[in-house]
Structure 1
Protein backbone atom coordinates (compact mmCIF):
# COMPACT_ATOMS: atom_id res chain seq x y z
CA UNK A 1 0.00 0.00 0.00
CA UNK A 2 1.36 3.41 -1.00
CA UNK A 3 1.34 5.94 1.83
CA UNK A 4 0.40 9.59 1.23
CA UNK A 5 2.27 12.46 2.83
CA UNK A 6 -0.12 15.41 3.02
CA UNK A 7 1.49 18.86 3.01
CA UNK A 8 -1.11 21.39 4.14
CA UNK A 9 -0.15 24.98 3.35
CA UNK A 10 -1.30 28.47 2.49
CA UNK A 11 0.76 30.44 -0.06
CA UNK A 12 0.39 33.59 2.11
CA UNK A 13 1.42 31.86 5.36
CA UNK A 14 4.72 33.38 6.48
CA UNK A 15 5.72 30.26 8.42
CA UNK A 16 5.28 28.27 5.20
CA UNK A 17 7.79 30.66 3.60
CA UNK A 18 10.14 30.10 6.52
CA UNK A 19 9.71 26.33 6.16
CA UNK A 20 10.35 26.28 2.41
CA UNK A 21 14.12 25.48 2.42
CA UNK A 22 13.69 22.62 4.89
CA UNK A 23 10.60 21.33 3.06
CA UNK A 24 12.61 21.31 -0.20
CA UNK A 25 15.35 19.23 1.49
CA UNK A 26 12.77 16.83 2.93
CA UNK A 27 11.15 16.30 -0.48
CA UNK A 28 14.57 15.47 -1.98
CA UNK A 29 15.32 13.05 0.85
CA UNK A 30 11.95 11.33 0.30
CA UNK A 31 12.52 10.86 -3.45
CA UNK A 32 13.82 7.25 -3.12
CA UNK A 33 10.57 6.27 -1.33
CA UNK A 34 8.55 8.00 -4.04
CA UNK A 35 10.56 6.23 -6.77
CA UNK A 36 9.84 2.87 -5.08
CA UNK A 37 6.08 3.65 -4.99
CA UNK A 38 6.10 3.56 -1.19
CA UNK A 39 5.06 7.20 -0.90
CA UNK A 40 3.25 9.99 -2.73
CA UNK A 41 3.16 13.65 -1.68
CA UNK A 42 -0.23 15.37 -1.76
CA UNK A 43 -0.44 19.14 -1.33
CA UNK A 44 -3.57 20.42 0.39
CA UNK A 45 -4.65 24.05 0.67
CA UNK A 46 -5.37 25.33 4.16
CA UNK A 47 -7.07 28.67 3.54
CA UNK A 48 -6.02 31.10 6.25
CA UNK A 49 -8.40 33.94 5.47
CA UNK A 50 -11.60 34.24 3.40
CA UNK A 51 -12.21 36.66 0.53
CA UNK A 52 -12.25 40.27 1.69
CA UNK A 53 -11.94 43.74 0.17
CA UNK A 54 -11.48 45.39 3.57
CA UNK A 55 -8.10 46.97 4.30
CA UNK A 56 -6.25 45.28 7.14
CA UNK A 57 -6.46 47.14 10.48
CA UNK A 58 -3.23 48.73 11.69
CA UNK A 59 -2.95 46.51 14.75
CA UNK A 60 -3.08 43.38 12.56
CA UNK A 61 -0.48 44.84 10.19
CA UNK A 62 1.80 45.51 13.17
CA UNK A 63 1.26 42.00 14.50
CA UNK A 64 1.99 40.31 11.15
CA UNK A 65 5.07 42.43 10.50
CA UNK A 66 6.32 41.37 13.95
CA UNK A 67 5.73 37.72 12.95
CA UNK A 68 7.88 38.25 9.84
CA UNK A 69 10.63 39.75 12.00
CA UNK A 70 10.40 36.80 14.38
CA UNK A 71 10.72 34.29 11.51
CA UNK A 72 13.64 36.25 10.07
CA UNK A 73 15.40 36.26 13.45
CA UNK A 74 14.65 32.59 14.14
CA UNK A 75 15.25 31.04 10.72
CA UNK A 76 17.19 33.65 8.73
CA UNK A 77 14.35 33.88 6.18
CA UNK A 78 14.46 36.91 3.86
CA UNK A 79 11.51 39.34 3.86
CA UNK A 80 10.88 42.65 2.09
CA UNK A 81 9.24 44.81 4.76
CA UNK A 82 8.35 47.47 2.16
CA UNK A 83 5.16 45.43 1.71
CA UNK A 84 3.70 46.98 4.87
CA UNK A 85 4.31 50.52 3.60
CA UNK A 86 3.76 50.34 -0.17
CA UNK A 87 0.60 48.18 -0.48
CA UNK A 88 -2.87 48.05 1.07
CA UNK A 89 -2.83 44.64 2.80
CA UNK A 90 -6.08 42.72 3.19
CA UNK A 91 -6.76 39.70 5.37
CA UNK A 92 -7.60 37.56 2.34
CA UNK A 93 -5.63 34.47 1.29
CA UNK A 94 -8.37 32.55 -0.57
CA UNK A 95 -7.50 34.15 -3.97
CA UNK A 96 -3.86 33.00 -3.66
CA UNK A 97 -5.05 29.54 -2.60
CA UNK A 98 -7.34 29.38 -5.66
CA UNK A 99 -4.41 30.30 -7.89
CA UNK A 100 -2.51 27.26 -6.57
CA UNK A 101 -5.61 25.09 -7.02
CA UNK A 102 -5.93 26.24 -10.65
CA UNK A 103 -2.22 25.64 -11.33
CA UNK A 104 -2.53 22.08 -9.98
CA UNK A 105 -4.56 21.11 -13.07
CA UNK A 106 -1.55 21.80 -15.30
CA UNK A 107 1.02 20.31 -12.91
CA UNK A 108 2.28 23.75 -11.88
CA UNK A 109 1.03 23.99 -8.30
CA UNK A 110 4.47 24.13 -6.71
CA UNK A 111 5.67 26.67 -9.28
CA UNK A 112 2.63 28.86 -8.56
CA UNK A 113 3.14 28.47 -4.81
CA UNK A 114 6.75 29.65 -5.12
CA UNK A 115 5.87 32.48 -7.54
CA UNK A 116 3.28 33.82 -5.07
CA UNK A 117 5.67 33.56 -2.13
CA UNK A 118 8.41 35.41 -4.00
CA UNK A 119 6.02 38.12 -5.25
CA UNK A 120 4.76 38.61 -1.68
CA UNK A 121 7.79 38.20 0.56
CA UNK A 122 10.60 39.39 -1.73
CA UNK A 123 8.96 41.81 -4.19
CA UNK A 124 6.36 43.42 -1.85
CA UNK A 125 3.42 42.63 -4.16
CA UNK A 126 -0.02 41.79 -2.79
CA UNK A 127 -1.28 38.27 -3.63
CA UNK A 128 -4.75 39.21 -2.35
CA UNK A 129 -4.99 41.17 -5.64
CA UNK A 130 -5.94 39.33 -8.83
CA UNK A 131 -3.43 41.41 -10.84
CA UNK A 132 -0.55 39.98 -8.79
CA UNK A 133 -1.84 36.44 -9.26
CA UNK A 134 -2.19 36.93 -13.03
CA UNK A 135 1.45 38.13 -13.10
CA UNK A 136 2.47 34.98 -11.22
CA UNK A 137 0.49 32.81 -13.66
CA UNK A 138 2.20 34.44 -16.65
CA UNK A 139 5.59 34.11 -14.92
CA UNK A 140 5.20 30.30 -14.74
CA UNK A 141 3.91 30.05 -18.32
CA UNK A 142 0.13 29.92 -17.84
CA UNK A 143 -2.29 31.63 -20.20
CA UNK A 144 -3.63 34.71 -18.35
CA UNK A 145 -7.14 34.56 -19.87
CA UNK A 146 -7.53 30.86 -19.20
CA UNK A 147 -6.17 31.39 -15.70
CA UNK A 148 -8.77 34.07 -14.91
CA UNK A 149 -11.62 31.89 -16.22
CA UNK A 150 -10.42 28.95 -14.14
CA UNK A 151 -10.12 31.16 -11.05
CA UNK A 152 -13.76 32.23 -11.46
CA UNK A 153 -14.85 28.61 -12.00
CA UNK A 154 -13.09 27.44 -8.81
CA UNK A 155 -14.73 30.30 -6.90
CA UNK A 156 -18.22 29.67 -8.32
CA UNK A 157 -18.06 25.92 -7.63
CA UNK A 158 -16.56 26.45 -4.14
CA UNK A 159 -13.87 23.89 -4.96
CA UNK A 160 -11.32 25.50 -2.65
CA UNK A 161 -13.80 25.51 0.23
CA UNK A 162 -14.32 21.76 -0.28
CA UNK A 163 -10.58 21.16 0.06
CA UNK A 164 -10.34 23.38 3.14
CA UNK A 165 -13.20 21.42 4.73
CA UNK A 166 -11.30 18.22 4.00
CA UNK A 167 -8.16 19.61 5.67
CA UNK A 168 -10.16 20.64 8.75
CA UNK A 169 -11.77 17.19 8.88
CA UNK A 170 -8.28 15.66 8.99
CA UNK A 171 -7.34 18.01 11.84
CA UNK A 172 -4.88 20.03 9.72
CA UNK A 173 -5.67 23.42 11.23
CA UNK A 174 -2.26 25.09 11.25
CA UNK A 175 0.08 25.81 8.35
CA UNK A 176 2.34 24.30 7.38
CA UNK A 177 1.24 20.84 8.55
CA UNK A 178 2.49 17.40 7.58
CA UNK A 179 0.51 14.20 8.04
CA UNK A 180 1.08 10.67 6.80
CA UNK A 181 -1.98 8.77 5.60
CA UNK A 182 -1.71 4.97 5.38
CA UNK A 183 -5.07 3.40 4.55
CA UNK A 184 -7.41 5.23 6.92
CA UNK A 185 -4.76 5.87 9.59
CA UNK A 186 -3.47 9.45 9.82
CA UNK A 187 -0.22 10.22 11.65
CA UNK A 188 0.74 13.86 12.24
CA UNK A 189 4.44 14.50 11.58
CA UNK A 190 5.99 17.02 14.03
CA UNK A 191 7.61 19.91 12.14
CA UNK A 192 11.24 20.92 12.46
CA UNK A 193 11.81 24.23 10.67
CA UNK A 194 15.61 23.97 10.76
CA UNK A 195 16.41 20.31 10.03
CA UNK A 196 14.58 17.89 7.76
CA UNK A 197 16.15 14.77 9.28
CA UNK A 198 13.85 14.42 12.29
CA UNK A 199 10.79 14.59 9.98
CA UNK A 200 12.40 12.08 7.60
CA UNK A 201 12.92 9.67 10.51
CA UNK A 202 9.33 10.17 11.74
CA UNK A 203 8.01 9.37 8.26
CA UNK A 204 10.20 6.29 7.86
CA UNK A 205 9.22 5.05 11.31
CA UNK A 206 5.50 5.48 10.53
CA UNK A 207 5.96 3.58 7.25
Structure 2
Protein backbone atom coordinates (compact mmCIF):
# COMPACT_ATOMS: atom_id res chain seq x y z
CA UNK A 1 0.00 0.00 0.00
CA UNK A 2 1.34 3.44 -0.95
CA UNK A 3 2.56 5.49 2.00
CA UNK A 4 3.98 9.00 2.45
CA UNK A 5 5.57 10.63 5.49
CA UNK A 6 4.95 14.37 5.58
CA UNK A 7 7.38 16.54 7.53
CA UNK A 8 5.50 19.71 8.51
CA UNK A 9 7.92 22.46 9.42
CA UNK A 10 8.99 26.06 9.11
CA UNK A 11 12.63 26.78 8.22
CA UNK A 12 12.73 29.51 10.89
CA UNK A 13 11.18 27.36 13.63
CA UNK A 14 13.60 26.89 16.54
CA UNK A 15 12.14 23.50 17.49
CA UNK A 16 12.67 22.36 13.87
CA UNK A 17 16.32 23.35 14.23
CA UNK A 18 16.46 21.34 17.45
CA UNK A 19 14.90 18.36 15.69
CA UNK A 20 17.28 18.45 12.74
CA UNK A 21 19.80 15.83 14.04
CA UNK A 22 17.06 13.31 14.89
CA UNK A 23 15.26 13.99 11.60
CA UNK A 24 18.42 13.37 9.59
CA UNK A 25 18.94 10.09 11.44
CA UNK A 26 15.31 9.06 11.00
CA UNK A 27 15.44 9.61 7.24
CA UNK A 28 18.36 7.20 7.02
CA UNK A 29 16.33 4.55 8.87
CA UNK A 30 13.06 4.82 6.95
CA UNK A 31 12.03 2.06 4.53
CA UNK A 32 13.18 2.90 1.02
CA UNK A 33 9.66 2.57 -0.38
CA UNK A 34 8.27 5.24 1.97
CA UNK A 35 7.99 8.62 0.26
CA UNK A 36 9.03 11.69 2.26
CA UNK A 37 7.51 15.08 1.48
CA UNK A 38 8.06 18.48 3.07
CA UNK A 39 5.16 20.76 3.99
CA UNK A 40 5.91 24.36 4.99
CA UNK A 41 3.53 25.34 7.74
CA UNK A 42 4.09 29.09 7.63
CA UNK A 43 4.88 30.16 11.18
CA UNK A 44 4.44 33.93 10.73
CA UNK A 45 3.06 35.98 7.79
CA UNK A 46 4.91 38.73 5.93
CA UNK A 47 5.66 41.82 7.99
CA UNK A 48 7.97 44.81 7.72
CA UNK A 49 7.39 45.77 11.35
CA UNK A 50 10.23 45.30 13.85
CA UNK A 51 9.51 42.56 16.35
CA UNK A 52 8.30 43.93 19.70
CA UNK A 53 10.91 43.70 22.43
CA UNK A 54 8.76 41.47 24.63
CA UNK A 55 8.36 38.98 21.77
CA UNK A 56 12.11 39.06 21.13
CA UNK A 57 12.67 38.21 24.79
CA UNK A 58 10.09 35.40 24.63
CA UNK A 59 11.78 33.81 21.60
CA UNK A 60 15.22 34.09 23.18
CA UNK A 61 13.68 32.31 26.15
CA UNK A 62 12.58 29.47 23.85
CA UNK A 63 16.12 29.24 22.49
CA UNK A 64 17.54 28.96 26.01
CA UNK A 65 14.97 26.32 26.94
CA UNK A 66 15.83 24.24 23.86
CA UNK A 67 19.55 24.71 24.53
CA UNK A 68 19.15 23.50 28.11
CA UNK A 69 16.91 20.55 27.25
CA UNK A 70 18.58 19.28 24.09
CA UNK A 71 22.00 20.94 23.85
CA UNK A 72 21.08 22.64 20.56
CA UNK A 73 23.47 25.44 19.60
CA UNK A 74 22.19 29.00 19.11
CA UNK A 75 24.03 32.22 18.34
CA UNK A 76 22.36 34.93 20.40
CA UNK A 77 24.29 37.62 18.49
CA UNK A 78 21.35 37.47 16.07
CA UNK A 79 19.32 39.70 18.38
CA UNK A 80 21.89 42.50 18.52
CA UNK A 81 23.11 42.31 14.91
CA UNK A 82 19.69 42.40 13.22
CA UNK A 83 16.32 44.09 13.31
CA UNK A 84 14.19 40.98 13.91
CA UNK A 85 10.76 40.73 12.30
CA UNK A 86 8.06 38.18 13.03
CA UNK A 87 8.01 37.06 9.41
CA UNK A 88 8.79 33.57 8.06
CA UNK A 89 6.67 33.29 4.88
CA UNK A 90 9.51 34.57 2.69
CA UNK A 91 11.83 31.87 4.04
CA UNK A 92 9.09 29.32 3.29
CA UNK A 93 8.86 30.67 -0.27
CA UNK A 94 12.62 30.33 -0.55
CA UNK A 95 12.35 26.62 0.29
CA UNK A 96 9.62 26.18 -2.34
CA UNK A 97 11.63 28.14 -4.93
CA UNK A 98 14.74 26.09 -4.16
CA UNK A 99 12.68 22.90 -4.44
CA UNK A 100 12.00 23.76 -8.09
CA UNK A 101 15.75 23.37 -8.66
CA UNK A 102 15.99 20.26 -6.47
CA UNK A 103 17.58 22.10 -3.54
CA UNK A 104 14.81 22.23 -0.92
CA UNK A 105 16.76 20.39 1.78
CA UNK A 106 19.90 22.39 1.07
CA UNK A 107 17.95 25.64 1.43
CA UNK A 108 16.31 24.51 4.67
CA UNK A 109 19.74 23.74 6.13
CA UNK A 110 21.19 27.02 4.85
CA UNK A 111 18.35 29.00 6.43
CA UNK A 112 18.64 27.17 9.74
CA UNK A 113 22.42 27.45 9.96
CA UNK A 114 22.34 31.05 8.79
CA UNK A 115 19.71 32.03 11.33
CA UNK A 116 20.77 30.01 14.36
CA UNK A 117 24.55 29.79 14.00
CA UNK A 118 25.60 32.74 11.82
CA UNK A 119 23.22 35.44 13.15
CA UNK A 120 21.82 36.16 9.68
CA UNK A 121 18.20 37.19 9.17
CA UNK A 122 16.27 34.92 6.77
CA UNK A 123 13.29 37.28 6.94
CA UNK A 124 15.33 39.49 4.57
CA UNK A 125 15.22 38.65 0.88
CA UNK A 126 18.82 39.67 0.25
CA UNK A 127 19.94 37.12 2.87
CA UNK A 128 17.91 34.37 1.16
CA UNK A 129 19.34 35.31 -2.24
CA UNK A 130 22.86 35.14 -0.81
CA UNK A 131 22.07 31.69 0.59
CA UNK A 132 20.76 30.55 -2.80
CA UNK A 133 24.01 31.70 -4.38
CA UNK A 134 26.04 29.87 -1.72
CA UNK A 135 24.09 26.69 -2.50
CA UNK A 136 24.93 27.19 -6.19
CA UNK A 137 21.34 27.62 -7.31
CA UNK A 138 20.57 29.58 -10.46
CA UNK A 139 19.99 32.88 -8.64
CA UNK A 140 18.05 34.57 -11.45
CA UNK A 141 15.64 31.62 -11.61
CA UNK A 142 15.43 31.51 -7.82
CA UNK A 143 14.52 35.20 -7.66
CA UNK A 144 11.87 34.80 -10.32
CA UNK A 145 10.44 31.74 -8.58
CA UNK A 146 10.16 33.63 -5.27
CA UNK A 147 7.57 35.87 -6.91
CA UNK A 148 5.87 33.26 -9.11
CA UNK A 149 2.15 32.82 -8.48
CA UNK A 150 2.53 29.04 -8.21
CA UNK A 151 5.04 29.49 -5.37
CA UNK A 152 2.48 31.50 -3.41
CA UNK A 153 -0.22 28.94 -4.24
CA UNK A 154 2.02 26.12 -2.96
CA UNK A 155 2.75 28.07 0.24
CA UNK A 156 -0.94 28.72 0.93
CA UNK A 157 -1.86 25.14 0.04
CA UNK A 158 0.79 23.81 2.44
CA UNK A 159 -0.40 26.09 5.24
CA UNK A 160 -4.02 25.05 4.63
CA UNK A 161 -3.00 21.38 4.63
CA UNK A 162 -1.19 21.72 7.96
CA UNK A 163 -4.24 23.41 9.48
CA UNK A 164 -6.60 20.82 8.03
CA UNK A 165 -4.49 18.08 9.57
CA UNK A 166 -4.59 19.93 12.90
CA UNK A 167 -0.87 19.50 13.49
CA UNK A 168 -0.02 20.44 17.09
CA UNK A 169 2.97 22.59 16.09
CA UNK A 170 6.23 22.52 14.17
CA UNK A 171 7.85 20.16 13.52
CA UNK A 172 5.13 17.56 13.03
CA UNK A 173 5.11 14.22 11.28
CA UNK A 174 2.02 12.97 9.48
CA UNK A 175 1.94 9.51 7.91
CA UNK A 176 -0.47 8.81 5.07
CA UNK A 177 -1.09 5.09 4.52
CA UNK A 178 -3.59 4.53 1.72
CA UNK A 179 -6.26 7.10 2.59
CA UNK A 180 -5.61 7.07 6.35
CA UNK A 181 -3.71 9.87 8.10
CA UNK A 182 -1.76 9.19 11.29
CA UNK A 183 -0.03 11.72 13.54
CA UNK A 184 3.42 10.46 14.53
CA UNK A 185 4.97 11.53 17.82
CA UNK A 186 8.13 13.58 17.30
CA UNK A 187 10.98 12.34 19.47
CA UNK A 188 13.92 14.74 19.60
CA UNK A 189 16.40 12.29 21.07
CA UNK A 190 15.56 8.79 19.85
CA UNK A 191 14.60 8.41 16.17
CA UNK A 192 14.25 4.67 16.74
CA UNK A 193 11.08 5.28 18.76
CA UNK A 194 9.64 7.32 15.89
CA UNK A 195 10.63 4.61 13.44
CA UNK A 196 8.82 2.01 15.54
CA UNK A 197 5.59 4.02 15.35
CA UNK A 198 5.89 4.34 11.59
CA UNK A 199 6.77 0.70 10.87
CA UNK A 200 3.93 -0.52 13.13
CA UNK A 201 1.43 1.48 11.05
CA UNK A 202 2.98 0.34 7.78
CA UNK A 203 2.75 -3.29 8.92
CA UNK A 204 -0.93 -3.09 9.92
Report the TM-score, using the length of structure 1 for normalisation. 0.94
Task: Name 2:9's counterpart in structure 1.
Answer: 9
Work out whether 1:107 is the aligned partner of 2:102. yes
Q: Distance in 2 between matches of 1:130 and 1:104?
A: 17
Secondary structure (helix, strand or coil) at the match of 1:113 reads helix
Q: Distance in 2 between matches of 1:4 and 1:46?
A: 17
Task: Name 1:61's counterpart in structure 2.
Answer: 56
Question: How has the CA–CA distance of structure 1 residues 183 and 43 changed in structure 2, closer, same or farther, with 3 Å as cutoff?
Answer: same
Task: Name 1:82's counterpart in structure 2.
Answer: 77
Task: Name 2:35's counterpart in structure 1.
Answer: 40
Contact kept, 8 Å, 1:14 with 1:68, in 2: the verdict is yes
Question: How has the CA–CA distance of structure 1 residues 106 and 77 changed in structure 2, closer, same or farther, with 3 Å as cutoff?
Answer: same
Q: Distance in 2 between matches of 1:189 and 1:154?
A: 32
Stretches of 4+ moved more than 6 A in 1? none
Q: Distance in 1 between matches of 2:75 and 2:157?
A: 33
1:173 Cα deviation from its structure 2 partner: 4.6
1:158 Cα deviation from its structure 2 partner: 3.4
What are the residue-to-residue correspondences of 1:111-150 with 2, within 5 Å? 111-150=106-145
1:100 Cα deviation from its structure 2 partner: 0.3
Contact kept, 8 Å, 1:79 with 1:121, in 2: the verdict is yes
Could you list the runs of 5+ residues in structure 2 that have no partner in the other structure?
A: none
Task: Name 1:174's counterpart in structure 2.
Answer: 169
1:2 Cα deviation from its structure 2 partner: 2.0
Task: Name 1:70's counterpart in structure 2.
Answer: 65
- Residue by residue, what CA displacement relative to the aligned partner does 1:48-102 show, whole Å, maximum 9, x if unpaired? 0000000000000000001001111111111100001110000000000000011
Aligned residues: 202
Report the TM-score, using the length of structure 2 for normalisation. 0.96
Could you list the runs of 5+ residues in structure 1 that have no partner in the other structure?
A: none
**Cα RMSD (Å) of the superposition?**
1.2
1:115 Cα deviation from its structure 2 partner: 0.4
